[in-house]
């Protein structure tokens, strides 16, 4: 399904700085908000400017791979701090961006199940870190939505994407970050049927 552009949603979307490893920092950043969207994860050092210049060389690919092979604990430690901050600040809606590689693949085609299975074996450390974070969100009493995105790319969005619980998408077909962002905002501001559900987004 497609969605309305973010600019037509009539909501003020703000970004705030905070340290996800510092619970008090998260509480200050979250205070006074209606909903929280978390897109935290290991940095890839691949910038939008590099993408616009067509700079996707061996070095850039290596940076992305390294981030997934050695993800650290930014999600497994950061998400519980965000959850605690939401609870203390009285924020009920939390949207967590995750990845389609966390899926067991039941809703996908046979080829895409194979692709997801392969990625899970290669990037098992990143999968493990995200899985801990997902489980923490699911165990919380917030009105949560977990959005599992396909491969993402820097490109102009066109809102031509599919999103929903158990949505059948192509994991390796790149989705513009802008379209993923649109889905995340929908999850935070509307789509009541998505609450306490895992949503796939892609093409």
Per-residue pLDDT reduced to its tens digit, 46-81: 555 655 555 445 555 566 666 666 668 999 999 999
> Parallel, antiparallel, or unpaired for β 162-165 and 143-149?
unpaired
pLDDT for position 64: 63
Asked if 99 contacts 130 with a C-beta cutoff of 8 angstroms, the reply is: yes
Q: Which of 102, 133, 107 is nearest to 117 (CA)?
A: 102
pLDDT for position 16: 80
Phi first, then psi, for residue 197 (nearest 5°) are -130, 160
How far is the C-alpha of 113 from the C-alpha of 101, rounded, in Å?
A: 9
Other C-beta atoms closer than 10 Å to the C-beta of 60 total 16
How far is the C-alpha of 121 from the C-alpha of 16, rounded, in Å?
A: 35
pTM of the model: 0.86
pLDDT for position 14: 73
pLDDT for position 143: 98
Q: Which portions of the chain are predicted below pLDDT 50?
A: 1-9, 55-56
CATH code linked to domain 6-202: 3.40.50.720
pLDDT for position 59: 57
């Amino acid at each position: 399904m497609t969605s309305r552009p973010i600019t037509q949603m009539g909501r003020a979307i703000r970004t705030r700085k905070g340290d996800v490893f510092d619970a008090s920092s998260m509480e200050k950043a979250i205070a006074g908000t209606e909903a929280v969207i978390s897109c935290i994860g290991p940095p890839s050092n691949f910038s939008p400017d590099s993408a616009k210049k067509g700079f996707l060389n061996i070095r850039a690919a290596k940076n992305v791979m390294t981030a997934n092979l050695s993800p650290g604990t930014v999600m497994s430690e950061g998400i519980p701090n965000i959850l605690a901050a939401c609870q203390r600040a009285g924020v009920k809606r939390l949207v967590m961006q995750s990845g389609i590689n966390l899926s067991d693949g039941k809703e996908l085609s046979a080829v895409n199940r194979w692709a997801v299975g392969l990625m899970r074996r290669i990037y098992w450390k990143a999968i493990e870190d995200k899985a801990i974070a997902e489980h923490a969100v699911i165990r919380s009493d917030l009105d949560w939505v977990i959005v599992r995105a396909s491969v993402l790319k820097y490109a102009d969005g066109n809102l031509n994407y599919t999103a929903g619980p158990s949505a059948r998408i192509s994991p390796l077909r790149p989705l513009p970050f802008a379209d993923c962002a649109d889905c995340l905002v929908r999850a935070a501001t509307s789509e009541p049927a998505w609450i306490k559900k895992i949503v796939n987004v892609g093409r």
